[in-house]
Structure formats: structure tokens, C-alpha cells
Structure 1
């Protein structure tokens, strides 16, 4: 797909200037990446023209009117810049573009670019090569009042942009503190592959050639260099200093040089071979910026990269980032901005002919940190991201897409099981809406409304009442179809035993019985039997087709994609392919994904994510954007105009859309997570474009499924085929990651070599790394009574979490502990039963359930607790899979009481960071909670021990080291 870029700049070929050299190679790289480029620039200044430059037939250069007759003064130069900017606006109207980029320091370009982008309705990207508006205030150019007005105007335009680009990290951080749009650092760069080393010349003691080659402006304080040359040459006339270049201050500098006795040789700007000859002449080269302007601490002269790439020795009169680079990139001289100090440095260097050797370390630094390829790829990514965001569909189109996708999903559920659809809809509502709606639904009666009533009771947790209601119907005339409907409600609830008991008592001739028995078989995991049974049912042809499609995928059918021979990945770019993500869900899965990507970004990876097809619209976010950004991490959505109806067709559709996005994004690696449906899509796309992929096993989903069913579930088609597909995915991936030792052992049983599995346990970052706040203060902030005792959890409320055990244990303690409260934060299918258990035990008034909370406030709930509990029941999955929230509790310096299961022993050190208690043993849980509440000193010590463990072993930064090593080893093998 061709993307169009319009660059508004003050200098371009055939000129040879720092901004021109930067953008010439950037535009060459961007055109290779598929961009169509047009440049709007003034006529070339003859003083800077390099006639030897290569032609650029791949782009269009258009020039604004020639106003060279204006004087070469500050006012004249400003007038030229203004005329160029004014002329650029109407000239741009004949140009079609997808994004406008304006380069500064030509400040009028800011206004021109803003107007052009606004008129065309496209993103506006501003490249701040220098630290504007700070420089205009520090230089007092035009006076304080004028400077303040211009600085305010610059800031407003910066804020109006869609993207800012800086050339240094420091200035990017400075801008980030000013309520700016997204900021990306794209360094100046060089390509050392085509640059020869300019070896240090052989010289005699006392000789030293000093070269300054670059702009002669106010920022460079070259008058100080003239004074230093005069001082040095008085003591050693064999020290020779040469200035090469042009600039606004050159006439003044020539006057100062003449007054000083011409200690400096001044020459015009040079290009090509002549520049190389100057470098061959020089023993040390100057980079200099005045130190009295604070913004120069965040400025790196572009000449720095050029000198390092040639292997030249550098004398730097610089501070901040420029000084740091020279310190890292070889044996260079850093001198304070003092003429005497500079002269003394030259005298010392002259005395030792070995003091200015060829700097191979400089070339190595450029290759690692400032290569052309890396910076071009980064810029390409920035521009693509902005174009993609701007092309987000309109509200009408989003509404149409949402209606189509949600209708497909709803129709699918309605055809599958009306009761299940009702349960899903009600369960997705917030608790404060769900309860009154469910209660109201439970009261309706008569005809088909009985099913509505049954769903209402199910959502309210009144399953015993529902069973009694169904039993009352047995034997009544004409009640068989209604009993089948009740059975389907129990199937939807997962109470297969009750459902089977009801179906066994229905007359065999009942019309809907065959379909219900097929549904029973399908839900139990007997997929082949279910398809066979449904084939005998009336009017179920479409259900048979859907199930056959899903069965085919379970049996090994995979998406098919054509190879893409022309694919060119972007170095260090990784795309994560996820089930769900922030900001539409605060799940532990989403938070883990986000934390991993944030940590990888800090390691230098260009990382973003894409979610499964149709999400989040399929789960209720009907007006979701096609892209979200959270803390600088982009989340792309795959939202087709219409969602494929059948399972295998949807997997193929997912693969097709992912491939399309990969061709646009051009990652070097894909990274996905369980389960296998993700893996086969990602594997197909990775194979099509020829890049590696990583599979992260975050759960044992087949075992999670089996844990909610009968003992024979592990012998069913569903379980066996699911495990086979998971095994294939684990063995096919180029890299394999999992969360804990128990899950690792399971992968080894699949046939994966132990050494090929990377352990990346759940961890913490952000606020959880900060010193935890005071418990009392957190309670007050949350509106809780600060003088009570709080035991609880922050979790998804699902049956295997076993929270009923803690409710029962608390009920035993509360008569003797009137201050005890249960604080259960979250939502899920187990919540109605938790509430029902509390009501039955008479402690519902001591149960606090705030529902789902924003992740920005979850740390407060951790801090408010006295004890964090993980009372998981004992199943195959809970014995293997580690949760996330208990790590956050330990980071919050809270003791953790957990079920004594293998996976949880990885998170709780018994009697040190918490306690391990037999699962589902109410008495043991009551004793453990009571013991810690009675001994707050012991509880606090456990909390502190847990926090120290987390800070050492369980941070996302530590995990990022593992991912970084895995990614680089995989990519190096591919290369």
C-alpha cells in the first residue's frame, strides 16, 4: 500500500546541510518502504550547493519563489523563511498526501505545516531538530517580549501536532513534561558500511592540526575557539586551527580573527572529496556548543555522528547528552568552555603524537546506536502509526461494523443456546445493573417467559430454587419442552449432572430432546458424538455445519496463506498477537501483556500489539476504535465488516487480516499467547512472510475446561484434541515462554526440551515498585472504615478461585472478631454463589464487593488489606497455573495466605512471606487468618519479606531481560 508524505523543510538538495543530509537518506529509505514523497523547499543557497550529489528520481522536489535578493541579515533571513512558509501553503494544495512533516529550526515552517495538514485533514508531524522554544528564550533573540510571544506560539503549535519528533532523548523528556502530543526520538545517524576510516596521520611532537567543519552560527561560540587558537599558537606555532563552513556569524568571526592576528585559517564550505581531505588533514576535530544556554544540554551537534563514523578524534566543548556520547564512543577530549583550557588541551595533545589515534570505538558506537537503518525504520513506524490513526473509520462506519460483528456473535449464541446467551449478556453487565435486572427477570412467569425467569435465577445464584422449580414440572402434562429448556439453562451454568437428570425424565418423543442431548454431548466434550446426534435433530442443519467446522479445526485444519517473497522486516520490531488488552479489560492477562511490552520498549524494542478478530466488539465494546494507545503502546484491532460464521472460516479470516496488518507494520518477529487457535494463525502468517514467532503458554486451558466438568472429561474428544493442538504449537514455535515450573514440566511432557523453555513469571511494575502507602490512608481514600480488619482478594471471581472457603472461614471467626470484614474486589461467574454463601451464613453485611476497579486504583485495595488470600480449589489447572494478583499483594508488603498447591508454592514461601493452607479446609483457613490477625508483627514481617522477594525476582524489568535474550538469540539464528 502506497503512503504519501509531504515534507516542508528549509533546506534540501542540492544543498549539503545537516538537515538536508539527514532527510535525504531518510527519504531514500522511506521510498524503499513504500512511501511516495514530495518536498516543499526554498531555492538552494549557492553557498551550500554540492554539485556532486546523486539525483533522487524517486521523489518530487518543488521550490517556493526565489527571494535571494533579500539581505543576508537576521531580518532578511526571517523574511525569506516567512515568504517560503506563506508560499508553501497554496503550492501544497495540488498535492495529495497522507501526512505532513515540517522541520524546524525554520520556525515559520511550523505554521505552514499546521495549515497544510489542517486543510488536507491529515496528521501533522513536527520535527524539532533543536530545542525550540527554549532556544529563543535563552538567546533573547528579538528581545524578551518578542521571544516570549514567539515561544508561546511555538508551544501552541507543538501541542496542536499529532506527533513530535526530536533528535535527543533529553529534549524529548523536556517536551513530555509540557502536555505535548506523543514524542518519538529519531537520532541523527550514519551508515558506516559506506564510510571509509580516516586514519590518524603520522605527526611529529609539537604538531597538531585542529579542524572545525560546520555551521558558523551563534550557538557554536567560535569566537572562543579563535581566542584559544591565539593563546595556543603563541606558545606553539605548529598548532594549526582551521574553520571550514558558512553561517550567520562568519563575517563577524572573520573580523575577530583578523583582530587576533589570523590565528585561524578560514575556508568556505566543502563537500564530498574536499571534506574527506580536510578530515585527513586534521588530528582532532571540534564539536562545540555554548554552555550558557541550558537547552544545549539536550542538543547533540549532528557533526558528532559524522566525525565518529570516520573514526576521528574529537575535542568537544559540549555538555549533557553530547558529552555522554563522546565519553562512551572512544578516547576523546571534553573541554570546558574556556579559551585557556582549550589552548592547554591542544598544547598537551600536540606534545604527544600518539594522543589522537584513530577511534574505532566511535565507529562501533555509531553502528550500535545511530545507524541509518535503525533510525529510518523508527521514522517509518512513527509515520505509519499516525497515518493509520488518522484513517480510523468514522463513527457511522464504526457503528455499522459494530452492528455487523455483534449481530453475528449474538446470532451465533442465540442459535447455540438461548439460555447461554442470556447468561452471557447479564454477566457482562456491571454488578449494580446485573442484580436488579436478574431479580426482575426471575419474577416473570408463563410460557416462554419461564426460560427468562430461569436465566434470572441462575444469574442471581438461586440455583437450588431453580432446581425445585424444574422438579415441580416433572409429570405435568405438556411440560416436557419446558423441562428441556430448564435443562439447557443448567447446561449453560455448567451443572451437567442436573441437566442430564432432567433430560433423562423427558419423554423420548419430545421434539427438542435430540438437540438438547446433542448440546449435552458437545458441552461435555464429546464433539464427534454431538455432531452425529445433532444430525438426527430437526432443523439443526446450520448447527451441524458450525460444529463440523469447529471439529475440523480441532482435528488439525489450519489457515492457508500464500508466501510473500518481497517481505522486508523492520529490525527490532515485534508484534504481539493477543486475546484481549487494555483499555477494554483490566484482566491480569491484559495487564501482563502491557507490562511486558512496556519493559521491552525500555530495552529498545519497537513493540506493539494486535488483538484477535472481532475483539472487543464481540464482548460488548460496540463503538471501539480500530486502534487504541495506552502509555505509548499501540493496540490494533482486527474489525472486519462482517465476521465469518463458521469456526474454521473465522480462523482463516483472522489469518488473512493479520497478514494484511503485518505487511503494513513489517515486524521482525511475532509473539502470541495461548491458546492454539492463536498459534495456528500466527504460525501461518509468520511462515508466509518468513519471520520467527514466539508462543507464550499462560494457561492450561484444556485443564481449566476439564476442571469444571466430570471426571472423565480428560478422555473426551475436546480435551484430547485440544492438548494435541497445544503440543503441536509448542513444538512448532521458534521460542517458547511460560509462567512457572509446573507449567514448564507440562511442556516437557509435550516433548519440548527443558532448555528451550524460558520462564517468565508474573511480576509487577509501576506503582507496585514504589514504597507502599500507609494502610490507614488507603482505607480512607477508598471510603473504608480505617479501624476495621480487612481480609480479601483482588481477582477474577471464577469458581476455581474457591472464595467460598474464605467466606465460610470468616463466618467462623466473625462472632469473636466483630471488626472483621471480607473485601473481595472483582467480578465473575462465581460472584452470585459467593454472595449466596455469605447470605446463608448471615455475614452478607460484612462482605464488601466493589466490583471491577480501575487498574489505577487497584494498588489502593492491596494497601487497604491486612491479609491477601488465594483460596484456590485443588484441580489440575490450579496445581499448575500461577495467578498474578498475589505477586502484587506481596509487592504491597501484605502477607499472603494461599492454598497449598504446587503452583502457589512458587509464590508463597511458607512461614516467611505468608502461609500455605490445605485447599478447601475451612477450619485450617480460619486458623491461619485468625493467627495472622492476632499477630500483626508477624504479618508485617511476612509482608516485608514478600516485598523484598518481589523486588529481587519478580519485576517486569527482570523479565524483559529474558525476553530480550530470547528474541535476540532467535533473530541471530534466523539471520
Structure 2
């Protein structure tokens, strides 16, 4: 039975889009008959979960942990992180004996996995969910074309060149890699998907909960996720007063938190629309479905930048699976997921006036929502269901295992 070791930045029991994609991949692969485990480096601790045991279980999945302590200034600390993870991968290879190393971005994971692959002779698949340097620009911790940006890009290129195969989550990333000179046949697209066991049952509206929040009778626009600048929530808030002129009952429900939370609250106060906006703060993952059930339209107003043009997000797919109407900005990552007027609505990124007009039109034509919801659901079931998505890895795994077996035999 083929054994796959997933090499990860962080994992369950932490909750993030990164963790949920990993969970979906591993669960689907187990259901398909593969033997699967994950391994996390010391960055797991930096994300807020301190690993206590060398092997832990979360949601029925096994994760090997790197318990080493790493200190020092950047970039010394990062090199020590790579060394610690590479050493831990070596140990797991000896004890667990995987057939494939499947490393997931960022590049530090790929560097550690590449060292272990070269040492063990195991094939390496490197999966890119986003370019780390662009993600840093998007969340405000980096600057485009800075020395750190350039170095990160070079490290990623090194891992890509050394890996036996590369997987990406969308066509935008594939196009960028081909532009860098990566052979198209080396790249497999494994798009973001939805675990329909988790998100496949549209929630009923909880009228009591709606009343507790003071939202009975409101047309509710919703967002569930992290409040980073690139999400464009400031543009959505700026659009709200214009939207209120034609839809007085509209209300914006923001579920989550992050770096932009305080600036967004200041913006709401400055515009005098506090009665039309609710910030819930972060909520337990078990409560997310309950909030989905309250929302009429899920809105994703991402700003236009390299990160959002190249990378497809997970949240709109979850909303489609939950039977919600989806409206989003027309950045490249959204255009790969949403067909305007068919599976959802697209509006110009960064333009509050046009956002307001598009949302007003959507609210004026609620009779079209059932058909949109049905088309979006069919799209998710056919093209973004994890049970079928993981089949894209199978020929890659089989080809690499056969190739390595031939090399050893020779």
C-alpha cells in the first residue's frame, strides 16, 4: 500500500485554510486506500499550537512533530528551522518508510524535504499553494522587489528545480511557473476543493440566533475569514453607505479577525454606519456553519495584486457548497472559480461605487438566486470535490515511484 508523507508548515488542531486543505487531501487519500501521515516543523509552534509529543493525532489523522527548539535572528533562525525539519524527516523516513515525500509550501518546507529526498532517494512532490513572497506582501509583512522578496523567490525556484514533480492549486500559479521556465509536463494542477462531508449540507437559518444578533428582517451581506488588507473589506465598508440609499435594510456581518480589524472598526465609526455592521470577532470552527446560515450574500472583495490574481481562495467554494449566493471582486483568483451571472456575481476590484451598484442589482433580483445557487453547487460537486480532486495526484505518484524503482534496480 502506497505511503505518503505530507510535509507541512502547520496542521490541525490549528484552524486555517492551509490546515483545512491539508485535512481534505489526507482524508480523501485515506478513503482512496492510501496510507497517509503528516509532519510539521517548528513553525507549528509559531502558529499558536505547541506540540508536546513526537507523534500526535488530530481529527483521526497522524502528524509527526518536530520538537526541536530553534532560536536566532532572521535569516539564521530560518536556516535552523530547515535543518531541524530535515533531520526530523530523516527520522520519520527510517521509522515510517514512506514511498513519496509530498511537501507543501512555503519554500522552507520544500528545502527541508529536498535535503531528505536527496539523502534517501525518495521521490519528492512539491506543492505550491501561494508564492510565499507574494503572501508576505499581501499580509503586510513584506515588500515587493525587496531583497527578502528576491531571496524567497530564488529559494522557491531552487526547490522547484530539485523536485521530481510540482503541484499547484490553480492555473494562475501554473502560468507563472511556466513563465519562469518550468516545463509544463512537470506541473500538475490540484485545485482548491471542498469536503462535501463538512460543507455539503446547506444550513437552515436559525431565526432565534438571528434575533439574538438583532438582525431579523435584514438583508445580510456576510464575510467569514481573516481580516487582511488584501481581502478588501475596507472597500466593502466604503460601499455600504451607497448601498443603504437604495436598500435601507442591508446589514454587513463580519465573522473573524486579523490585522485589519481595528482599522475597519475605525472606518465604520467614521462613516457613521455602526448600526449596519456587526463584528463578531473570531468564532469556533464548529460555529461557522451556523453563521453561514444567516447570510444572504457572501461577499469577497479582494484587492487586485499579484497574490490575489494568481491564487484561488477556498472560502468562496465553501460558500457555494453551503448554498449561499456569492459575490466577489474580479481578480484572477476569483475568475477561476466564479462565472459572472452563472455561478455568482463579479464586481470591479477596489471600486466601492461599482461594488455598491452590483450588490444593489443582486438584491433587486433575488428571484434569480435559486438558479445561481444550483449552478454553483453543481460546479463544486463536479469540479471542486476533494473525493475526485485527489485523483489528480495518483498518476504523478505512480510515475515517480516507478521511475525511482527503475533507478534503484539499474
| TM-score of the pair, normalised by structure 2 | 0.91
Tell me, what secondary structure is at the counterpart of 2:33? coil
Q: Where does residue 67 of structure 2 map in the other structure?
A: 639
Structure 1 portions without partners, runs of 5+: 1-570
Q: 2:294 aligns with which of 854, 864, 889?
A: 864
Tell me, what secondary structure is at the counterpart of 1:910? coil
Distance 2:48 2:363 in 1: 42
CA contact (8 A) 1:614 1:637 kept: no
CA contact (8 A) 1:739 1:761 kept: yes
Tell me, what secondary structure is at the counterpart of 2:393? helix
Tell me, what secondary structure is at the counterpart of 2:62? strand
Q: Where does residue 25 of structure 2 map in the other structure?
A: 596
Q: Where does residue 689 of structure 1 map in the other structure?
A: 120
Structure 1 position 814, deviation (Å)? 2.6
CA contact (8 A) 2:227 2:257 kept: yes
Q: Where does residue 248 of structure 2 map in the other structure?
A: 818
Distance 1:931 1:968 in 2: 50
Write the deviation string for residues 360-388 of structure 1: whole angstroms up to 9, x where unpaired: xxxxxxxxxxxxxxxxxxxxxxxxxxxxx
CA contact (8 A) 1:933 1:939 kept: no
Tell me, what secondary structure is at the counterpart of 1:937? helix
Tell me, what secondary structure is at the counterpart of 1:960? helix
The answer to whether residue 106 in structure 2 is matched with residue 675 in structure 1 is yes
**Matched ranges for 1:447-526 at <5 A:** none
Structure 1 position 853, deviation (Å)? 2.6
Structure 1's 944 and 768: CA in aligned 2 closer, same or farther, altered over 3 A? farther
Tell me, what secondary structure is at the counterpart of 2:226? coil
- Higher share in strand: 2
Structure 1 position 625, deviation (Å)? 4.7
Equivalent pairs counted in the alignment come to 401
Distance 1:629 1:772 in 2: 29
Deviation beyond 4 Å, 4+ runs, structure 1: 622-626, 707-711, 776-784
Q: Where does residue 966 of structure 1 map in the other structure?
A: 396
Distance 2:193 2:138 in 1: 26
CA contact (8 A) 2:8 2:104 kept: yes
Structure 1 position 737, deviation (Å)? 0.7
Distance 1:926 1:866 in 2: 16
Q: 1:840 aligns with which of 236, 257, 270?
A: 270
CA contact (8 A) 2:9 2:43 kept: no
Distance 1:590 1:710 in 2: 21
Distance 1:741 1:572 in 2: 28
CA contact (8 A) 1:603 1:964 kept: no
CA contact (8 A) 1:768 1:888 kept: no
Structure 1's 939 and 779: CA in aligned 2 closer, same or farther, altered over 3 A? farther
Structure 1's 731 and 781: CA in aligned 2 closer, same or farther, altered over 3 A? farther
Tell me, what secondary structure is at the counterpart of 2:102? strand
CA contact (8 A) 1:615 1:639 kept: no
Structure 1 position 908, deviation (Å)? 0.9
The answer to whether residue 90 in structure 2 is matched with residue 650 in structure 1 is no
Write the deviation string for residues 736-778 of structure 1: whole angstroms up to 9, x where unpaired: 1111111110111122222221111111114455341333559
Q: Where does residue 280 of structure 2 map in the other structure?
A: 850
Q: Where does residue 307 of structure 2 map in the other structure?
A: 877
Structure 1's 734 and 926: CA in aligned 2 closer, same or farther, altered over 3 A? same
Q: Aligned-pair RMSD on alpha carbons?
A: 2.3
CA contact (8 A) 1:730 1:747 kept: no
Q: Where does residue 37 of structure 2 map in the other structure?
A: 608
Structure 1 position 643, deviation (Å)? 2.3
Q: Quick one: higher RCO (CA 8 Å, sep 6+), 1 or 2?
A: 2
CA contact (8 A) 2:44 2:51 kept: no
Distance 1:610 1:831 in 2: 32
Distance 2:152 2:121 in 1: 27
Structure 1, 855-864 or 945-954: larger mean CA deviation: 855-864
Distance 1:691 1:782 in 2: 56
Structure 1's 940 and 834: CA in aligned 2 closer, same or farther, altered over 3 A? farther
Tell me, what secondary structure is at the counterpart of 1:840? helix
CA contact (8 A) 1:573 1:606 kept: yes
Structure 1's 777 and 973: CA in aligned 2 closer, same or farther, altered over 3 A? farther
The answer to whether residue 91 in structure 2 is matched with residue 660 in structure 1 is yes
Q: 2:195 aligns with which of 731, 751, 765?
A: 765
Structure 1's 770 and 879: CA in aligned 2 closer, same or farther, altered over 3 A? closer
**Matched ranges for 1:179-218 at <5 A:** none
CA contact (8 A) 1:762 1:954 kept: yes
The answer to whether residue 56 in structure 2 is matched with residue 628 in structure 1 is yes
Q: Where does residue 88 of structure 1 map in the other structure?
A: none
Tell me, what secondary structure is at the counterpart of 2:98? coil
Structure 1's 619 and 703: CA in aligned 2 closer, same or farther, altered over 3 A? closer
CA contact (8 A) 2:44 2:50 kept: no
| TM-score of the pair, normalised by structure 1 | 0.40
Structure 1's 781 and 787: CA in aligned 2 closer, same or farther, altered over 3 A? closer
